[in-house]
Structure 1
Amino acid sequence: MRPQLHLTAPQNWMNDPNGLIYYQGMYHIFYQHFPYTCEWGTMHWGHAVSRDLIHYEHLPIALYPSKYYDRNGCFSGSAIEYQGKMYLYYTAIRYAKENPEYIHVQYSDDDLIASQAVVISEDGYHFDNRDCKHLVVDVIKDQNLGDVRHTRDPKVWIGHDGYIYMVVGSKVSNGCGYDGEVLFYKSEDGVHFTYQNRFIDSSIGDMWECPDILTIDKQDYMIFSPENIDVAPRPNSNAVIMPVAFDEKTCSLTKLDTYMYLDYGLDFYAPQTFVDEYKNRVMFGWLRMRKPVEGENWCGMLTMPRVLTQKGGHIYQQVHPHIQKLFNQKTNTIDFDEPFLMRISMLENEDVFLGGLHLYIQDDCLWCNREAISIHEDKVCNLTHTPPLNQRYDLEIYYDGQVFEIFINDGYYVLSQIVYKIIKEQTKIKNIELYKLSKIQ
C-alpha cells in the first residue's frame, strides 16, 4: 500500500516538509525524519531530489544533531540559494532535562530549549554538520518577546532589497494562557540576524508552527499551523491560510480577513511553499499518520505537490501539472492496486462509497466518513466536512495507496484522508469519469 506519487521516507518516521527549493535544476525536498523507528524521536533531516516532482532519489540524511545547541534535534526549517550556495535554516533543540532511559523523547513540552541555526552547503548534496553549522538566533530569554521552548520553524527568504528575512513561530503569555505570534528577523549576510518586529493575535490558537509569508497575484498571505485552534473531536492543531498586508521594510504584518483551513480532511499539517521552475507557488504538506499500516516499516507521507492560485480573494489548490498529466488513460474499472483519478459531480443527499470511504452531501457541505477503513486513535478525526459549497459538488478524487486527496469545485477546498485499508466490495458509484495512471517512465 505504499503510495507511488506521495513522497515517503525509505523507512521509519517522517513528518514536516523542510527546505523546499528548486536549486540548480533539481527539486530538493527535505523532511523531518527519525531514522530508527516508526515513531517520532530525535529529529534529523531526510533528503530526496527530483527533476519532475514524480521520480525521487533518496539521498543520505542531510542534517543530524552534532552541536550542543542541537544535540536533541534538528527541527523544521527552510532553504534559500544565496551566492550560489544552499543555506538550510532549522530550529536547533536541546532538552533542559534528558531522559537517561531513552534520550530520543523529552520528558515534556517544558523541556525544550530552542534556537535557530543554519548549515551552508556548497552544492546542495553535501552538508558538513561538524564545521558548517552556525547559530543565527540564540535562545529567547525575554519571556515578553517569545517562548524559550516553543520558538521554531524559520522560513527564510531574500527580500526585494537584497536583505535576508526570517519569520519564526512562537507564543507569548497573556497572563492566563498564551497568544500565538510570529517574530521577524533580518540579516545582511544570512548568518547574523537581528530582531525587527512581531505580530500577535489572541484569537487563533496559542502557538503558531511553520509560518510562511507568500505573495500570490500581488496579495500577501500567511500560512501557519496553530496549536489548540479547534475543539474535539477534531485534532487541536491545523494548517491555515490568512490574507495579510506585509511591509517588508518594517516587517509589520496586518491581518486583512479571517483564516481558512488549507485542507478539511485534517490529516494535513505543517505545509511549506516554494517557487518551482515555472514560477508557480507550490506547496507540500505533511499527512499525519499516527502509526504505520500493519506490516509496513514506514510512517508518514507528504501530499502531492499543489499549485496555489488566487481568484476573487480566495486561494485555490490544484495538483501540480507534472502529476496531472500522468492521468491520461480513461478507464471503466476502479483498481485500488494502482493510483487513479476520479471525477464526479454529486447531488444533494447523494451517497458515494469508495473503497470504504463514505462521501455524502448534507446541508450543502461535503461530508467524509472513513471510520470503516481508518484507525481509532487519540487525535484521529474520522468524520469531517467542508464549509457550505453553494450547491455545487464537483469532485476530483486522487487515490494513491493509502490516501485520498479530494479537490472540490476546481480546488476551492481540499479534503485529504489517510486510510489504513480498502474495502473493495463497498465501491458504489455512478456517472463518473475515471482515469488510470500512465506508465511512469
Structure 2
Amino acid sequence: MISKKQKIHLEAPKGLMNDPNGLCWYKGELYVFFQWNRFSKDHSFKEWGLFKSSNLLDWDFHGSAIVPDQEYDNNGVYSGNALEIDGKMHIYYTGNTKPNGIRKTYQCLAETDDGELFQKKGIILNTPKDFTEHFRDPFVWKGKDQKYYMVVGAQKVSGKGAIALCKSCDGKKWNYIGILAESDNCEMIECPVVFSLGEQQILLFCSQHRDNDKDEVLWSESLYQLGEWEPQTGDFTVGNLDEKYSRLDWGMDFYAPQTVCMPDGRTILFAWMSQMDGEQTEIFGEGEPNVHCMTLPRELTLRENRICQRPARELYQLLDDHIQIPKEKNHFQQETIAEMVSLSERTWYCKMELLQQEGIFELNINQSEVVFCYDPGEKQLVFQRKSWIRDGLEQKEVTLEKLDDLEIWFDTSSIEIFINGGSVVLSARVIPTQQHTKIRFQKSSKDMIKSMNMYKMKGRKSN
C-alpha cells in the first residue's frame, strides 16, 4: 500500500482532523486550531488540536489545546474562532453535551495570555428560543463601532437553516440580537464567517441539507455572499442565503473555511480538505495512523465581485528543482504525450499558460487518478478523480468562459488547482495508485500550451 502522508499540508500525526478553528495571529505566530479526534479515525470525540507558525512554512504541532472536560462541553469541543482582545486571546467555541442522549449546546469562552495555557471561562450564550440545539460554530469580530459581534450557525425551530447574530461590549457578556440571514432550501447553516476585503463585506457559510426526522446529514457545500452589514440594525443586505451566493471551491473536498487577517493586511483562508462520507473516510484511512488534512493557506482578493484564491506567497519557497519539459515537436505528434512529464515522486508544482484555441484541452495524471478536461466550445470544465469505493471516476463540472492558466499543487494524496488567477479553484484528495508521477496530455492540447513550468517541492518543516 502506498503511503498517503502529505508533505506540504497540515495533518495531525494520528486520529481524525476536521474543521480549522480559531485562526488567530497572536504574539508573532499564527495559531491554527482544528477539530481533532486523537483516539480514532472517526468523529466519536472532539477536542481542539493546535499548530503554530511564524511564517506559514515551518509548523510546530502542540497537540491538545482545548479538551472536553467540563459539564457544558463533555460531549465535544466543537468549532469556533479566536480573537485578541486587550492582549489576551479569546477563544469562542461550542460546547456539545448529550444528557440522556438529547443534544444540548452552549457557546463558550476560553482565554490565554501566553498562547500555552487556555483557561475556560464557561458559558457565554445559551441557545435562543428561535432555534433548535443545532446551534454552533461561533465566529466573533470587532465592528467599526468598536462593539463585538458574533454569528452562530443555526437551525430554526421550523427545521430550516439560519445564522444568529449576537452583540457584546467587551467580548465576554453577550446578547442575542436576531437572525442575520436564513434559508428555506437547507436545514442547517454551519461555520459562518464575516470578514472584509477592502470595503467589501463578505459572509462565508456552509449550507447543510439534513434529514431532520433521522437527524442525519445528507450533503453540504461551502458558499459565500457579498453584502453590506449594518451594525446599528443588525441587517445584512442579502439576508436570504438562497440567493446571490457563489461557491468557494468546485472540487470534491473543501469544507468549513475560516479566515484570518495577517499583520501585513492579507486575508488568509484555511479549509478542511474533505467532504468524505463515513465509507470514504474509513477506506482512505486504511493503513494510516491519521486521516484528513487542511487545504494549503490561501490569500484572498476580490476581482469583479468574486473572491479569488491564490496560494499564500510564502509557499513558493517550497519550490525546489526545476523540471525540464521536453520541447521537441515530436513529443506533440503522438496520440498522447506520455513521456512529456515523468517524475520519481508524487509532490510537485506546475504552472501552465494557455492560448485560446479550438479543441479540447485534457491532462491525465497517474493513469486517471485525476483527469482535467476543458471544452472551449461548450465552455465546460470537467474534473474527475478515481473513486476508491467503487469502480470508475467521480466527477465535478464547472461552467468556464475561458481557460487562461492553471496552477497545480500536487501533494502525495491531494490536488489543488487554481484556474485563471484563482477565480476558480478545485480541491480534492486523491488515492495514490503509484509511487511516481506521469502526466499525459491529449494530442488536441498541443497547440494550447503557451508555457509550462514545473518544479519538485520540498516538504514543509514541522516539529
Same-fold call, TM cutoff 0.5: yes
1:96-115 Cα shifts (integer Å, max 9, x gaps):
434xxxxxxxxxxxx32111
Q: Which residue of 2 aligns with 1:166?
A: 150
Shift of residue 326, structure 1, vs aligned partner: 2.7
- The aligned counterpart of 2:98 is 95
CA shift, 1:438, in A, is: 5.0
Larger Rg: 2
Counterpart selection for 1:157 from 131, 137, 141:
141
Q: Does residue 361 in structure 1 map to residue 374 in structure 2? A: yes
Shift of 1:75: 0.2
**C-alpha deviation, 1:47, in angstroms:** 0.7
1:53-202 pair list within 5 angstroms: 53-98=56-101, 111-128=102-119, 132-140=120-128, 142=129, 145-147=130-132, 149-174=133-158, 178-202=159-183
Residues 348-388 of structure 1, C-alpha deviations (whole Å, 9 max, x = no match)? 423211122111114212211112xx3227xx9921122x2
Provide runs of 4+ in structure 1 moved above 6 Å: none
Distance 2:156 2:218 in 1: 22
Whether the 8 Å CA contact 2:18–2:34 is kept in 1: the answer is yes
State the secondary structure of the residue aligned to 2:100.
coil
Q: Secondary structure at the match of 1:237?
A: strand
Choose from 419, 427, 431 the match for 1:408.
419
Q: How far apart, CA to CA, are the structure 2 residues paired with 1:152 and 1:334?
A: 47
Q: Where is the strand percentage greater, Structure 1 or Structure 2?
A: 2
Report what 1:101 is aligned to: none
Asked if 1:422 corresponds to 2:429, the answer is no
TM-superposed CA distance for 1:123, in Å, is: 1.1
Cα distance in structure 2, aligned partners of 1:186 and 1:267: 33
Deviation at 1:240, TM superposition (A): 0.6
Counterparts of 1:426 and 1:60, CA distance in 2: 37
> Aligned to 2:314, what secondary structure does the other structure show?
helix
Q: Which residue does 1:382 correspond to in 2? A: 394
User: In the TM superposition, what is the alpha-carbon distance from 1:235 to its structure 2 partner?
Assistant: 7.1
Structure 1 pair 204–242 and aligned structure 2 pair: CA distance change class (3 A): farther
Instruction: Say whether 1:213 aligns with 2:194.
Output: yes
Identity in percent: 28
The TM-score normalised by the length of structure 2 is 0.83
Deviation at 1:323, TM superposition (A): 0.4
Q: Is the 8 A contact 2:412 2:432 kept in 1?
A: no
Aligned-partner Cα distance in 1 for 2:353–2:157:
48
Matches within 5 A, 1:287-306: 287-288=273-274, 289=276, 290-291=281-282, 292-306=284-298
Cα distance, 1:278 vs structure 2: 1.4
Q: Given that residues 116 and 154 in structure 1 are in contact (C-alpha distance below 8 angstroms), is that contact kept between their aligned partners in structure 2?
A: yes
The residue type paired with residue 413 of structure 2 is Q
The amino acid of 2:36's aligned partner reads H
The residue aligned with 1:102 is none
Q: CA deviation at 1:166?
A: 0.7
- Which deviates more, 284-293 or 423-432? 423-432
Check 1:204–1:311 CA distance in 2 against 1; reply closer, same or farther (3 A cut): farther
What amino acid sits opposite 1:407 in the alignment?
Answer: F
Match of 1:280 in 2: 266
Q: Distance in 2 between matches of 1:183 and 1:354?
A: 44
Partner of 2:455: 435
Q: Which of 416-425 and 45-54 deviates more?
A: 416-425
Q: Deviations over 1:199-220 (max 9, x none)?
A: 3333452211000011112111
2:250 corresponds to 1:242: no
Distance verdict in 2 for CA 1:121–1:343, change over 3 Å:
same
Write the distance in 2 (CA, Å) between the matches of 1:29 and 1:247: 30
| 8 Å CA contact 2:346, 2:437 repeated in 1 | no
Gaps of 5+ in 1: 99-110
Which moved further from structure 2: 54-63 or 425-434?
A: 425-434
